[in-house]
Structure formats: C-alpha cells, structure tokens
Structure 1
Amino acid sequence: MSTAATTAEPTPNPTAAAEPRSSREVYRDIVAELLPGDERLICLDTDTGLFTGVDFGTGQDRYLNLGIAEHTLMGAAAGLAREGRMPLVNTMAAFAASRALEAVKLDIALNDLPVRIAATHSGVSAGHLGPTHHGLEDLAVMRTLPNMTVVVPADAAGTDTLFRQALTLPGPVYFRMGRNATPDLPAGPPLELGRAQRLRHGTDITVAACGPYPVLAALAAADELSAEGISTGVLHVHTVKPLDTAALAAAVRPGGTVITVEEHWRTAGFGSAVAEALTELVPVRVRRVAMPDAFVSVAGGQRYLVERGGITARAIAAYARSAVDPTRKDL
C-alpha cells in the first residue's frame, strides 16, 4: 500500500448538504447493500442491535447473530476466513480490544486472515454507559498487532469510502467507528487508505488529527492561528496503521513541531505512533493532545466528554503558540 502524500484536487463531500449520519449507520447500509451480491461476505453480530429490521434479501442466511460472545465471534470469524469467506464482525471497540483480544491476536492477526472488525462505540462515544464501554485503548492495542490495518474514519462520507476500500485488502482490518452522528468534515482531497489527507497547508506548525472531533478541533485551531499570522497545516490521518510517514515527514520542517490530536488515551495511541515514526525520520518535537491517563468518571455525550478531556481547538492553539514562540506562557 502506498504511503505517499496525496496531491489530488479537492472533491465535494457528498453528505455535506444532508443531516450528518453516524459512521455505524453508514457501515450498516453498506453491509445491507453488499451482502446479497457477494457470497464471500458473512456478517457476524453480537446482539448489537445495529441490524434490527434490516432486510438482507438473498444474503439473509449469511447474517448470523452469535449473541454476546465476543471471543467466540473472533474465533468463528477466523474459521470462516480460513475457508475463503470474508467475515464482517460487529462489536463495540472496548470489547474487541480487550475482551476478545486473545482471539484477535492468535486466530486472526497471527494467520493474517481477511476479517473486518467493525468496532463501534469507540472513544467516549458511549459516554452514557461509563468506563466499561469506553474504547480509549483500542488504537494502542490494535496497531501493535502484526498484519493488522487500523482505520479511523472521521465522518459519514469517510466511512463509506474507507470501508469499501478496506474490503479490497488481503489481511485483517480494524475499523473504528463511533455511536452517534458527528459533523461532516469540509471538502478535501479524495480519501485513500494509507494516505493522509491534507486539509490545510501551513509552514509554521503542523497538526495531525485522527477521528471526528479531533479533526474538527484541529481545523478550528488552524483557522484561529492563521488569523494570528501562524501558518498552520492540518493532516487528517485516517489510517493509523500503516501510517503515512512520508506525508508526516514532509509536513514538518526539521526542528519544527507536530501536534497530534486523538480521542484516545494519551499513552501508546495515534500520537505515540507519530512520535515513534518521526524520531526515525526527522528531528521534530511532537506534542500530543489526547484524553488524560485516567478513567472518565462522569457520564455525558461524546462531544462534552471529548472537550472535558482537553481535546479542544483552544488546547491545540496554545501548544502551537508556545512552539512558535517558546517564551509564551499560554499553557
């Protein structure tokens, strides 16, 4: 898979004029569309409720609800994949990355099998359900597994484009989605799996963001900073593994600063992946904006909890100002 930076011309976002949709709803509709016509696809569910009332037509016998049994889900998917099928497995991110991890590692990743792990309720998008259902460790876990591709769409259109591309890959894919609708991103260059999408050009600072609210916060910070004369570039990094290291390295000058933004614990996630990669390529400073290293102790909506965790345009802009002028005390 190529990791070169894209230079394609911007194209309109097809969902921009409509009400925003959740990534999991878009994914559900893709499955309903493709299942009847592709004998390879088998949809394995764990009582998520996502497919309630969905008519799969001639593909109905390839929808199987295994109940709340996430470890069994991954093992069954691996067996089906070994027999030439392409299982689409459905569970929450917290369960895929923890409860079912042994089976993901040994049954799927070890054997490099074409299983698509559709993980919903990622980050704090299940904020009303508490820490048991928060998925703040999944990027750290999944990106360490050999053979695993890790994808984080940031809006409905991105979910559609990136999931269809993910179906063409030969090995396993972890596809991270939220629970409810999030705002659509502005138009940008066409999305391509494995290639960061440049949403803003800048020469003073680069912000690399992953996920819906982090990308929106990065764009808002870039607008604020640009108004102050600080030229700020924004990279939408939807593919965490393989990471587009070429685009990241090209976006920052030696001695400069990259600010990473993610809806994930600060430890070992997207920001850590960027830091690991760039230390081998170019001498830069990496500042990470992420959820604090603590369990979220309150219930609330996704946007509220993300902003409560400090993932805001204000925090990004403060890091940027201090990087451009170290004498500033904004933080």
Structure 2
Amino acid sequence: MGLNCFGISFSSPNITLDSDPTHQKLSKSGYHAIWKEWKENAVPGEGEQRGIAVERMKYCLKKNLTELNLNNLGLRSLPDILPPCTKLDISDNQLSQFPTLSTDLVTLNLANNQWAELPNKLPPYLKSLNVQNGQLFELPELPNMLEFLHADNNQLHCLPEKLPTSLRLITASNNQITQLPEAIFGLFSDSKIVLKNNPLTKKTYYFAYGSIVPNISLSPSCLTKIEYLPPKPLSEIVKVWLTPEQQKSLESKWLEIEQEPGAKEFSKFLNQLANIKKSSIRPKPNLFLRELSPKIGGMDSWLYDLVNSYPLRQKAFLDYGHF
C-alpha cells in the first residue's frame, strides 16, 4: 500500500527486486532467451525498437557494464529481467509497467513515460531518481540514500511524509501539491526544494518563505496570492516571543537597539520567523535555532541575551540579517 494523501489510498504494483535467487543464478543463455521472447512478442506497427534494446542489453551483459541506456526507443514494455547495472536510463518511452529492478541501482531515470505509480519498494542504494513528466499521483517511501529527486510535471498531491535526510535536491514543480511535510526540516541547510506552479495554501506559503532550512523555491508570481503586511519594527516583532512582563521591562531597550546598524535587516529575519506561527505546519520548537548556540533554551532566552550582550547582538545581526 502506498502513502495516504488527503484520505485517498493508492495501491502500488506487485513488483520485486532482483534479490530473488532465481534471478541471481540466471545464466547468459537464460537472459538471452527471455529477451528473445520479448523481442518476438512485439506488436507490429507500434514503432518499438526492441531489436536495438536487445542488442544493448546483450552488450551490457557481455561487457559487464554498469550503465544501460534504453532511452527513446519507443518502448511500451520491457522484458521481465534486465542485465545487472548501477545506472539505468529508460526515459522518453511509453512505459507504464516496471520490470524487475536491480537492487544495485544507484541512478534511475524514468522520465517522460506513462507511469501512474511507482514500485512500493525502490532499490535501496538509489541516489538519483528522475520521474519527471509522468502521471504520478504519489511517491512511495524513498530510499534512505537518495540525494536527488526530480518529479516535475506529474499529478502529485503531496511529498512523502518521510524524507531521507540525505536529500540535497527535490524538484516537484507543476504538480498539485498543497502542503509541505514537516520532514523537510530534517534536511541539511544547503538542501534545495523547487516547487514552482503548485496550488500551495496561503499558510504553506508563509511556512515556506519563513523557513530557514532548507532553501525552498516557489513561483515569483505566487507571491501575489499572499496578503503580506509591512514588516514590524524590531521593538514590535520581538514581542511575539516575549511574555507581557518581558515586553514591558525590555521595551525601551529594544527601541534603542532598533537604531543600531543591522537591526533593520535582523528585524526582517524575525518577521519571517514569526510567519511560521501563522502556519498549521510547524517544525519542532527551536529547530530554527539549532545553529545559533547549543546552550539556547528558546527564543525568549536568546532575545534576552541579545539585549544584554552587544557582541552577541552584532553576531546575530551579521549571521541572520541576510535572510
């Protein structure tokens, strides 16, 4: 069973990996027999170049190559078993069903096909997956070692709730994504997510643009969908995290601080951070502060320290004034 997005369940095809013992023991002649039968079963007039595909598979098997390219051959199906490889390109065909996939695959290009769903279990060592320009409504659980995911131009309604922390790049523009999973805050700060032309909710826009980790890219035109208010001055925005007593006792100090060099830019950072409080999807408390100091107990204590330490304040202005 695949992920459940918005209460709708999608089943995944019954597909196995090549860990099956019969596949591992398959002889060269066994491979050739399977491919020969597949070639002979081609439907006349469909334009499939199965002959070229078979020659490439034989050559890959003979030379023990790590890469197999069956790109742009007009294929509507593939043989049940492909030669072992670590990089497979079957993009730009008319495929809708999967063959048995090698567990050793590191790079898999499935772009520009007719996939409506992916295998429930993808190769465990996969680092790069391209499923652009398909008909996918959801993505399965992603391999733990995945670094690059390209899923633009599908019908995705959401990203997986669990994302591998190894991910460095996700592109999922031109889908139907409305919300972002909290798992994106488990990614590294240099990770990038590109979600242009998706019907994200207003709260999700606030969430994305207020986030610090990772770098989230949305459509510039989508900014007009958000009713932004002018950023509050520093002495006002800090009140979001201060108790009424703290607001009263520190107000005059923050009024003085907001005149310091860098205070205006730092105020913009706090305004972005405050937008997170308007979102129904929030990361764990203080997740944004994990790079500031291991001793930080929360925003209120951090802001209190800034008031009483000019060097710490200047460092904060420098580190966070560019967001």
Whichever structure has more strand as a proportion of its residues is: 1
Q: Which has the higher contact order (CA 8 A, sep 6+)?
A: 1
TM-score (normalizing by structure 2): 0.30
User: Rg: which structure is higher?
Assistant: 2
